[in-house]
Amino acid sequence: MNYLRFSFIGILFLLQCREPELPTCTTDSGPLFAHFSFPVGAALEPLDMASNSAYASLANTEFNSITPENIFKPAFLHPEPGVFYWQETDSLVQFCLNAGKRLHGHTLIWHQQLPYWMENFQGNATEWESMMKNHIQTIVGRYKGKVRSWDVVNEALEDDGSLRNNTWLEHIGESYIEKAFQFAQEADPDALLFYNDYSLESKPEKCKAALDMLQKLRDKGVKIDGIGLQMHISILSPSNNSIENAVQAFATAGFLVHLSELDISINPLGNKITSPKPQALLQQADKMRAILQIYQNIPAAQQFGITFWGIGDSDSWIPGFFGRTDFPLLFDENYAPKPIYCTMIE
């Protein structure tokens, strides 16, 4: 009898420890974007396109929207006063035009990745404003009609919803935000203009502050077309409810919604891991399924697209930036599709 009982408990134990079954698939069922009615994008580094054929091949086939991960940022594109480094941005713009991919410009005004000269610019508010105008209009003007949309202002809010005390606020004042949008609109009246930020999907007070800001600007007549919810999230948080609240709030207010920098961390606590646990890959796929459902619930005309912040796990900014091992993207380190990808094409 005892023997039977122990065997039974043993079987139960084994069942519980059994690895979950993971969806498997290939990229043979056609491009990822072809499975969706909205654009599916990735952040790209042109240097990786040139040096890594697996990366370049997926960038070419799977995505129909591209966000430059770094090369449009001021530190790269505008390294000295009056000096613009167009070589890489021109070739990325040309690549997108040739391949019929949408290019989303990221980012014009931000407090990070600024060149030394800009951060230390000497001048009064009017001079700062004209420096900002020149920066925005030189870039947007050059790519008028070629870059479909821009993150005009990035991360202007603190987590509590107050305005971030950054260089632009300090030198120009609160109006830097609306002026940045006005300058961009003057340079390309047809481009779609976005405000982009993180944690809007996890911090209700920040979400509300961003929505208020966008509505106030729009009421004043400033052209502001959409919101970029960066969505650097994890399998642990935020809840699906919280994501849905944010997505719905902006959609109800009539803005385009771009899930603009999506990655789903499976190791947010920074544990010492060398490979992803199957259970975590499954949770990552489940999170993606929930995000797709939430996103597909908003009107199609407001679905600007979902952009992943990189292609393979080894391209992700997370390990370098946060100093932890992670596996947050659609493809693994060898560029094989992960369960999250398989769930998307299901």
Q: Is 333 part of the annotated catalytic residue set?
A: no
Q: Does 283 bind ligand XIL (CB under 6 A)?
A: no
Separation of alpha carbons 132 and 51, rounded Å: 34
Nearest residue by C-beta to ligand XIL?
317
Catalytic residue among 69, 155, 201, 244: 155
Contact 125, 171 (CB under 8 A): yes
Output the CA angle 318-151-301, nearest 5 degrees. 105
Contact 232, 263 (CB under 8 A): yes
The verdict on whether omega for the bond into residue 39 sits within 30 degrees of 0, i.e. cis, is no
Number of residues that bind ligand XIL (CB under 6 A): 6
- Sign for the CA dihedral angle at 30, 32, 33, 37 comes to positive
Residue placing its CB nearer to ligand XIL in the complex, 328 or 339: 328
Among 149, 167, 185, 230, binds ligand XIL (CB under 6 A): 230
Output the CA angle 148-150-154, nearest 5 degrees. 165
**Which residues lie below 8 Å from residue 211, measured CB to CB, with a gap of 6+?**
227, 249, 250, 253
Q: Is 62 part of the annotated catalytic residue set?
A: no
As measured in angstroms, the least distance from the Cβ of 316 to ligand XIL is: 8
As measured in angstroms, the least distance from the Cβ of 21 to ligand XIL is: 33
Kindly identify the residues of this chain, within the stretch 67-106, that bind ligand XIL according to CB under 6 A.
69-70
As measured in angstroms, the least distance from the Cβ of 287 to ligand XIL is: 19
The interface mask with ligand XIL, positions 238-267, x = CB under 6 A, is -----------------------x------
Question: How many other β-carbons are positioned within 10 Å of the β-carbon of residue 279?
Answer: 13
Kindly identify the residues of this chain, within the stretch 138-167, that bind ligand XIL according to CB under 6 A.
154
Chain position carrying tokens 């060898």: 334
Q: Does 234 bind ligand XIL (CB under 6 A)?
A: no
As measured in angstroms, the least distance from the Cβ of 191 to ligand XIL is: 18
* Contact footprint for ligand XIL (CB under 6 A): 69-70, 154, 230, 261, 317
Q: Which residues are catalytic?
A: 155, 261
